[in-house]
Structure 1
Amino acid sequence: MNGPVARPSDYESFPYVTRGTDYSAVELVDPSYRRSTFSPELDGEDRRRVDRLLTESVVVSFHDHPQLLPADMEDIDTFLRTKQEQTAFTELRRSGLTAVFDNWFGVIGGTRRSGWKWDDLVTTLGLRLADIAHQEGVVVARRVDDILAAKRNGQLAFVMGTESAGMIENEIDRIDVLYGLGIRQMGLVYSDANTLGGGQKEARDGGLTVFGHRAVERMNALGVLVDVSHAGDRTSRDAIDASSSPISITHAGARAVWPIARMKPDDVLRALAERGGVLGIEAAPHTTLALDHRAQSIESVMRHFVHAVDLMGIEHVAFGPDTLYGDHASFQHAISDVIGSSTIFDAGGLDVEKVTHVDGLENPTENFRHITGWLVQHGYSDSDIRAVLGGNIIRLLGEVWR
């Protein structure tokens, strides 16, 4: 077993069907399970300031997977085929989040281990919306006003997104369908090349395709936020140039801080900022390390934040931790053939200390409290903290969403 098993009360999703009868009964991890030991060095006044900032700010996770992982990774294949994913709604309400960009496992699950197809995506999106509709205090955000209203009303807003547009194949109108179903953010590619462009796994990135240009144009016209987090460098630059609206890198870091393909080079980050875009700092295990901090923790993650702020300006940086509830590192290993860890996480022979979890940024519940504490500890102003906690994302969405 990889962690304590969830209690019956933790299975909050899909209250109108029966677990084990209507869908798989794989045992999932206890969402309250913690291994992080990080605690910022704050006095009483600073701790109250953290509480106030989290209470007053619109706090937005630019990218997360707020679902529960299996308690035993031996169940991973059954888990990946289960479309009724359990979301930790109670834990999310304790996180301080106003909104979360919810990018479910649309690239590595479904009926095929090689990734979802169109019918998998539409089916799971419908199931996801049905689940949210049956949760108290939870809403789907389709406009900026929906996020702001959620803050006023003490609700939790979900922004529907997908990490790859590969499922649209060469059918441009499928973007319209997804928009109609609530999708407001789309990654162009996930690691492997597709009909839109090249991914980070490819040795040669051919850039945004002719169809990719059409897709970006359609997303702009509809008001869908373009994301190039998993796109190759050339495809990322092409998309930034092709888009009439600012775009996003919802979850990544800086290659200047840690030299792997999963991170973005400075020229891409600079171009993103020059066009008004926003970078969300990644925190998934074995991604945002640093040359002087090779055991990933909140400290190495914040090295990327500091570099990005210095390079891009604080108004173009936010956080997309890309975390889950459960043993994320073991999950990475279990699906390494799909995510291509041998290529996109290759550090060119640099010594890397493997971790069981990212201390301080282990799951969506703790992420933003610890980020806020770190920012307070390191002397950032209230206005800068509010900007990176969500204000920068709200500004971007105001320019992109129709």
Structure 2
Amino acid sequence: MTFIFDAHADIWSDVVVRRSRGEREVFRNRHLEKFKKGGVSGGIFVMWIDPPFDQNPKQRLAEIIKAAQAELEEASGLLHLVRSASDFDAAAALGKMPVVWGVEGLSGIGSDLGGLEALYDLGIRHMSLTWNEANPLATGVKQAPDRGLTALGFEAVRQIEALGILLDVSHLNEKSFWEVMSATSKPLIASHSNARALCDAARNLTDEQIRAIASTGGIIGINSYRDFIDLDPAKQTIERFVDHIDYIVSLVGVQHVGLGYDFCDYIEENLIQGSMLDASRSTAPDTLGLETAEKASEVLKHLRERGYKESDIENIAGANFVRLLKDRLEE
């Protein structure tokens, strides 16, 4: 079976909510079966400050870390935390799922860049500077277009790269994006963003941004969230999702494309009305044919129908992201 690596899963957000209600072994009980049915064999599991906890992000980050650590211990027979390049092979040898621990937005460290090394020491190997918010480091897509990286943000980019953490530019506004590009010397990813040429959403990437990421040796993970696939609800389908793969492959090559599904079925169960998240989400049905992780492997069928070679499908499905992570983690 082709190895599918999902470069963006909000699993820890679900874990912290459910564990706060008294649930345990959340991944095993709530996600494992979906992953198995969809053929998802690894991924980047991110911590994200869920509204309304964005008013005290430091406290919320600590809560999510505690929940994630407990969950990793309970799921030690299923999940293998990736800290170094060799952990991918170790996970395979043990029959476990390789999980890269990520942070979606660094509001939780505030202005304390010492938090970057502390997060690294915990095992975090992926970071984005911001979610949709403006924070002491950078500016998200929902904020002022004339605000980009701060001086502290430029230093954060330098430290993140020096630590050997993979930097993610999804959610940055355009000014922040280009300032990251000016400051970076390592491959970047946009873990869950699509082509703006096919869907004119602020969270999607222009052709120039796509080419810039590819020029670093980076990868774009295609996002299954409906409003980033097409603005017309009638076109929010798996076929249109694959159109985004086709488009970016034609623009920069298959080696720069992966999957960053961003499945939201379990997030929307826990939505808090009136939050920033709520305002950014449509009320339309989920993307037809890609509603949950159970459908992840359906994308591979569509790629075969469109004439992709098996080697290219393997690269898109997961090999591209795994290769890049191994390269960054062994430096």
Q: Normalising by the residue count of structure 1, what TM-score does the alignment of the two structures yield? A: 0.73
For each residue in 1:46-85, what CA deviation from the matched residue of structure 2 results, as whole angstroms up to 9, or x when unmatched? xxxxxxxxx2x44211101247979xxxxxxx87976968
User: Do the aligned partners of residues 300 and 163 (structure 1) sit closer, same or farther apart at CA in structure 2, a change above 3 Å counting?
Assistant: same
1:358 equivalenced with 2:305 (yes/no): no
Would you say the 8 A contact 2:12–2:64 is kept in 1? no
For each residue in 1:284-317, what CA deviation from the matched residue of structure 2 results, as whole angstroms up to 9, or x when unmatched? 23221167x7431111211211111111211001
Structure 2 unaligned spans of 5+ = none
Would you say the 8 A contact 2:49–2:60 is kept in 1? no
The structure carrying a bigger helix percent of its residues is 2
Would you say the 8 A contact 1:190–1:199 is kept in 2? yes
1:89 to partner: Cα distance: 2.6
Structure 1 unaligned spans of 5+ = 1-54, 71-77, 346-351
Would you say the 8 A contact 1:162–1:186 is kept in 2? yes
For each residue in 1:328-349, what CA deviation from the matched residue of structure 2 results, as whole angstroms up to 9, or x when unmatched? 4x766x556313746xx7xxxx
1:63 maps to amino acid:
H
3-state DSSP of counterpart to 1:357: coil
Query: 93-102 or 239-248: which moved more?
Result: 93-102
Partner Cα distance (2:50, 2:82) in 1: 25
Q: Number of paired residues?
A: 324
3-state DSSP of counterpart to 1:260: coil
1:96 equivalenced with 2:27 (yes/no): no
Partner Cα distance (2:261, 2:241) in 1: 9
2:286 maps to amino acid:
H
1:124 to partner: Cα distance: 1.9
Match of 1:337 in 2: 275
User: Do the aligned partners of residues 115 and 384 (structure 1) sit closer, same or farther apart at CA in structure 2, a change above 3 Å counting?
Assistant: farther
Match of 2:316 in 1: 388
1:59 equivalenced with 2:4 (yes/no): yes
Partner Cα distance (2:14, 2:219) in 1: 29
1:380 maps to amino acid:
Y
For each residue in 1:340-386, what CA deviation from the matched residue of structure 2 results, as whole angstroms up to 9, or x when unmatched? 746xx7xxxxxx9x63121221112321x111111111110011011
Matches within 5 A, 1:116-135: 117-135=57-75
For each residue in 1:179-198, what CA deviation from the matched residue of structure 2 results, as whole angstroms up to 9, or x when unmatched? 11111111111111111111
**Which of 152, 163, 178 matches 1:211?**
152
Match of 1:194 in 2: 135
Would you say the 8 A contact 2:104–2:130 is kept in 1? yes
CA RMSD of aligned residues (A): 2.7
Partner Cα distance (2:55, 2:199) in 1: 28
Partner Cα distance (1:154, 1:262) in 2: 36
Would you say the 8 A contact 1:114–1:338 is kept in 2? no
Would you say the 8 A contact 1:162–1:187 is kept in 2? yes
1:168 to partner: Cα distance: 1.1
Match of 1:270 in 2: 211
Match of 2:124 in 1: 183
Match of 2:189 in 1: 248
2:121 maps to amino acid:
G
Q: Normalising by the residue count of structure 2, what TM-score does the alignment of the two structures yield? A: 0.88
Give 1 or 2 for the bigger CA radius of gyration.
1
Match of 2:303 in 1: 375
1:172 equivalenced with 2:113 (yes/no): yes
Percentage of identical aligned residues = 26
Match of 1:14 in 2: none
Would you say the 8 A contact 2:187–2:217 is kept in 1? yes
Partner Cα distance (2:307, 2:295) in 1: 20
Partner Cα distance (1:314, 1:380) in 2: 10
1:128 to partner: Cα distance: 1.2
